[in-house]
Homo-oligomer: A and B are copies of this chain.
Amino acid sequence: MAVGRGGTKLKDIADLVGCSLATVSNAINGRGRMSEDMRREILAKCAELNFVPNSAGRSLRLQRADAVGVIYAPSFAELFGNIFYARIMEGLSETFGEAGLDLILGNRKDSDGLPSIVRQGKVDALVVLAGVFEADAYESLRNCPVPVCMVDGHVGALEADAVTSDGFGGGRLVAEYLVREGHQNVRMVAYKNPLYNIEQRIAGFLSGLRASGVEAREDDVVIRISDNAEAGERVLDSLESGEAPTAVFAVNDTLAEYLATELQKRGKNVPGDVSLVGFDDDPIARRCEPALTTVGMDKRVFGSISAGLVLERLAKPEKPLVHHVQPTRMVIRDSVSNLGG
């Protein structure tokens, strides 16, 4: 089965054309000087037999795999059921494909947590989809012998190129927008789990409030939760209190959608009684009732940008680390009321 059994090889082409196998290799790789006729004849024969040099032989000699690993956590279904990551994968697949690199899914791990494909030499680099990575996941990548590009992760956790969305800028945009619409007493709801992109959004939101002249103490503004159920209770509690907020910023659209449903169940009108903003511009935001005002970004390009970073790194291993920050923008729909003001 498999690999070479009966498959065409360099030697076969050489015999057919009547030259040495070195010349065939040179023709294919566009090096060496030979007569135009010879080169054409060799290439024609290769095309005719659909010959492609065997990857194992090539890899062994060249000390490179022509493949990139993709690492993710926690589970494949969780990851790829998410259209955001599906889009990233598509971008990776396209850009690497054009460069002649294949994508390997690196789910197996060595005893020290490094993906097996790395020490097996199956990949030249790793793209790490780190959106929900815990600290120890980064730890195991620390001594990775191939370059790593981190997507949507905790910048600084690793010496690696990185691509993130501008959570800070997005948080700021939300604050500025809410204040402009007359909201001064606001809350942000975020998970306790200190993920990089969540912290960025919080920091940006607080910064935006302050820049808009609203005094914002983190402890007063940010409601830290462990799960959605807690979010529902805490927000409802705050609405019953003397200091009821007029707007709530949920750290992502899924949470915002949950809150909308929960609030409406308890007879609260959105945005009549309280305005709601999400983050991500997830497809769910559009389907929400009312349609959710949120923060969007061009997710399509995440994959191609990370792939580009990897390609550059492979070409120039010593170049300085790059951190690409993808801009975010307000996506205004129907979940925020204008308080006049």
State how many angstroms separate the Cβ of A4 from the closest Cβ of chain B.
5
**Contact call B63/A60, Cβ cutoff below 8 A:** no
With a CB–CB cut-off of 8 A, which chain B residues contact A317? 1
**Contact call B56/A65, Cβ cutoff below 8 A:** yes
Residue in B4, B102, B105 whose beta carbon sits within 8 Å of that of A93 in the complex: B105
With a CB–CB cut-off of 8 A, which chain B residues contact A105? 89, 93, 102-105
Mask of A63-105 contacts with B, CB within 8 angstroms, 1/0: 1110100000001110111010111011001100100101111
Instruction: Look across to chain B and name the residue whose beta carbon is closest to the beta carbon of A110.
Output: B50
Q: Is A124 an interface residue (CB 8 A)?
A: yes
With a CB–CB cut-off of 8 A, which chain B residues contact A59? 3, 55-56, 59
Residue in B54, B75, B85, B114 whose beta carbon sits within 8 Å of that of A121 in the complex: B54
Q: Is A108 an interface residue (CB 8 A)?
A: yes
State how many angstroms separate the Cβ of A101 from the closest Cβ of chain B.
9
Q: How many copies does the complex hold?
A: 2
A108, A122, A124 pick with most chain B CB within 10 angstroms: A122
With a CB–CB cut-off of 8 A, which chain B residues contact A146? 1-2
With a CB–CB cut-off of 8 A, which chain B residues contact A62? 3
**Contact call A3/B121, Cβ cutoff below 8 A:** yes
Q: Is A31 an interface residue (CB 8 A)?
A: no
**Contact call A50/B89, Cβ cutoff below 8 A:** no
Q: Give the docked Cα–Cα distance between A254 and B75 (Å).
A: 25
Q: Is A106 an interface residue (CB 8 A)?
A: yes
With a CB–CB cut-off of 8 A, which chain B residues contact A107? 93-94, 97, 103
Q: Is A53 an interface residue (CB 8 A)?
A: yes
Q: Is A57 an interface residue (CB 8 A)?
A: yes
Q: Give the docked Cα–Cα distance between A145 and B7 (Å).
A: 8
Q: Is A5 an interface residue (CB 8 A)?
A: yes
A104 with B50, Cβ < 8 A, contacts A80-B89, A86-B81, A317-B1 known: no
Q: Give the docked Cα–Cα distance between A81 and B85 (Å).
A: 8
State how many angstroms separate the Cβ of A286 from the closest Cβ of chain B.
14
Q: Give the docked Cα–Cα distance between A122 and B81 (Å).
A: 27
Q: Is A120 an interface residue (CB 8 A)?
A: yes
Q: Is A16 an interface residue (CB 8 A)?
A: no
A120 with B54, Cβ < 8 A, contacts A1-B317, A104-B103 known: yes
**Contact call A63/B97, Cβ cutoff below 8 A:** no
**Contact call A90/B64, Cβ cutoff below 8 A:** no
With a CB–CB cut-off of 8 A, which chain B residues contact A120? 52-55
Mask of A102-143 contacts with B, CB within 8 angstroms, 1/0: 111111101110101101111111000000000000000000
**Contact call B77/A87, Cβ cutoff below 8 A:** yes
With a CB–CB cut-off of 8 A, which chain B residues contact A147? 1
Instruction: Look across to chain B and name the residue whose beta carbon is closest to the beta carbon of A124.
Output: B2
**Contact call B86/A121, Cβ cutoff below 8 A:** no
Mask of A304-329 contacts with B, CB within 8 angstroms, 1/0: 00000000001001000000000000
18 CB-based A-B contacts, threshold 8 Å = A1-B146, A2-B63, A2-B146, A7-B145, A50-B112, A53-B120, A54-B60, A59-B59, A76-B93, A77-B83, A77-B90, A93-B105, A102-B105, A102-B106, A102-B108, A102-B122, A103-B104, A103-B107
The 9 A-B pairs at the shortest CB distance, nearest first, are namely: A56-B59, A3-B121, A80-B86, A76-B90, A55-B120, A56-B60, A80-B80, A81-B83, A103-B105
